[in-house]
Amino acid sequence: MDSCPKDTGILMLIRSMSPDVIAVDEIGTKADVAAIERACVSGVAVAATMHGESFEDVLHSHVGPFVKRHHPPADLSDGHAGAGNCSRYQKIPQG
């Protein structure tokens, strides 16, 4: 979708297209997080990016509470986390 707020687009896709997967770039607002959580509880897998200087930076952003709920720190020891509908965190090296 183009020219549509991310949260609105995600909810429109869930209702109208019944997707198996939704991919979004640069989540960062509370509305983005709420829409992604709605997608997850609706059985839709979500692939999303979030940007920060470090993982700790992401944890302290608007996205942080979502990441903490779905990806407990104990699961991050290998750079991957979580189980369930929102299933994976992958730290991508810079460079």
CA atoms within 13 A on the CB side of 28: 6
Q: Is the pLDDT confidence value at 7 over 90?
A: yes
C-beta separation of 53 from 44 below 8 A: no
Q: Is the pLDDT confidence value at 94 over 70?
A: no
Question: SS3 helix, strand, coil % of the chain, rounded to 5?
Answer: 40, 10, 50
Q: Is the pLDDT confidence value at 80 over 60?
A: no
Instruction: Compare 10 and 89 and report the one with higher pLDDT.
Output: 10
Q: Is the pLDDT confidence value at 77 over 80?
A: no
For 30-63, write each residue's pLDDT tens digit. 899 899 989 988 999 888 888 778 777 888 888 8
Instruction: Compare 67 and 86 and report the one with higher pLDDT.
Output: 67
